């Protein structure tokens, strides 16, 4: 369930250590030190983990198919965003399975996996809206 642990992900993380990988600073990586639930039917090994293994053992001889999900770079001039909204006084900027959270008193936005806050949401958000007087948040996809 999304409230527990996915044994496959925990085992894969520990297997990464046995292969020589340390913890990653990328919050979207399997080797990130803080566990985030992901259903095993939707799991693809993130690019950061692939690069870590390839730095130890060398790259594949051919291009992998399908492409691995990448963590968005907020400084990428070609970056397109999925949704931007203000929720509970903070700016939320959604891109693929991630969102940046910017508090008015912060200088830099923090990057999070969307499922780390909202496990039941889809991997991509198209729009979000807060109805403050009713204390409701609406998330849209599709």
DSSP 59-103: --SS--SSPPP----TT-TT---SEEEEETTEEEEEETTEEEEE-
- 33 found inside a domain: yes
Question: Taking the complete model, does pTM exceed 0.75, yes or no?
Answer: no
Binding site for Ca(2+), by residue number, is: 82, 84, 126, 128
Q: What residues does 94 pair with on adjacent strands?
A: 83, 99
Give the model confidence (pLDDT) of 85-136 as tens digits: 888 889 999 999 999 999 989 888 899 998 888 888 888 889 988 888 898 8
Binding site for Zn(2+), by residue number, is: 13, 17, 23, 31
Same domain, 96 and 51: no
Domain that holds residue 20: 7-57
Give the model confidence (pLDDT) of 23-56 as tens digits: 999 998 999 998 887 776 777 899 999 999 999 9
- 74 found inside a domain: no
Same domain, 11 and 49: yes
Q: Domains in the chain: how many in total? A: 2
Catalytic residues: 14
Same domain, 53 and 88: no
């Amino acid at each position: 369930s999304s409230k527990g642990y996915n044994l496959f992900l925990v085992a894969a993380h520990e297997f990464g250590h046995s292969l020589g990988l340390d913890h990653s600073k990328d919050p979207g990586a399997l080797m990130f030190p803080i566990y985030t639930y992901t259903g095993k039917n939707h799991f693809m090994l993130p690019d950061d983990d692939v690069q870590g293994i390839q730095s130890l053992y060398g790259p594949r001889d051919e291009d992998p198919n399908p492409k691995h999900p990448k963590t968005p770079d907020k400084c990428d001039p070609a970056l397109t965003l999925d949704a931007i909204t203000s929720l509970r006084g903070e700016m939320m900027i959604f891109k693929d399975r991630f969102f940046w959270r910017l508090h008015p008193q912060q200088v830099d936005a923090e990057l999070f996996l969307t499922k780390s806050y909202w496990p039941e949401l889809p991997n991509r958000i198209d729009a979000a809206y807060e109805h403050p007087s009713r204390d409701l948040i609406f998330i849209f996809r599709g």
